[in-house]
Structure 1
Amino acid sequence: MASQRLAHNVFFGLKDKSPAKVAELVAACHKYLNVQPGIAFFAAGPLCAELTREVNDRDWDVGLHLVFETKAAHDAYQDDATHNKFIDEQKSNWSKVRVFDSYV
């Protein structure tokens, strides 16, 4: 599995769910979390409010989606200074953070 790509999906619940705070977190994701080496895919955005089927999990406000070339790239990202700066600047508005990692 070490040579497989690793998908890292993070779903943030916010204390302040205002459009401005959602946009702030999305912008911070783009500023700090798209710069580390080894990222094959990056996306961040708000919950799609139009999708309300019973199977849609709607208990979050901003989704972050990364695919790393390797697990080692993911592991380096976790300790990267810009990743830590993102956490320090944004965590005060997080009510809940859920992380889903899988090989892809």
Structure 2
Amino acid sequence: MQLAHNVFFKLKDQSPARVDELVAACKKYLNVQPGIVFFAAGKVCKELNRDVNDLDWDVGLHLIFKDKASHDSYQDDPTHIKFIEEQKHNWAKVRVFDSLV
């Protein structure tokens, strides 16, 4: 089975420039690892403001890996680690949702 890895970042500095910076960093560092079959990163869509929409985040990262082993390798990949080191100072909250799909 494939593994969906969804990460939602709430930023300390939620300015448009900092949101764009995190999206760009996701695109630079987090779509180069082997085993990724789908990658997307983007800003919250605040216009979808229904009772069921959770809007308590700024940037969403969406990855699908060919299998759990690929996901596990991604976690230790140097580019993933570099992304965390460069960006974590602006994270107020990070939520991760993983599912087999």
Band of TM-score, shorter chain: over 0.9
The aligned counterpart of 1:60 is 57
CA distance in 2: counterparts of 1:46 and 1:22, whole angstroms: 7
Whole-Å separation in 2 of the counterparts to 1:51 and 1:15: 22
Q: 2:6 matched to 1:13?
A: no
Q: For the residues of structure 2 that align with 1:64 and 1:50, how far apart are their CA atoms?
A: 19
Tell me which residue corresponds to 2:26.
29
Unaligned ranges ≥5, structure 1: none
Give me the CA root mean square deviation: 0.3
Structure 1 Cα separation of the partners of residues 72 and 98 of structure 2? 12
What do the CA deviations read for 1:8-45 (whole angstroms, capped 9, x no partner)? 00000000000000000000000000000000000000
Q: List, as ranges, runs of 4+ consecutive aligned residues in structure 1 with deviation greater than 4 Å.
A: none
1:49 pairs with 2:42? no
* Other-structure match for 2:35: 38
Shift of 1:49: 1.3
* Structure 2 partner of 1:89: 86
2:71 aligned to 65, 69, 74, which one?
Answer: 74
How many residue pairs match? The answer is 101
Residue 101 (structure 1) aligned with residue 98 (structure 2): yes
**TM-score normalized by the length of structure 1:** 0.97
Q: Secondary structure at the match of 1:87?
A: helix
Q: Tell me the amino acid that sits aligned with residue 26 of structure 2.
A: C
Q: Percent identity?
A: 75
Unmatched 5+ residue regions in structure 2? none
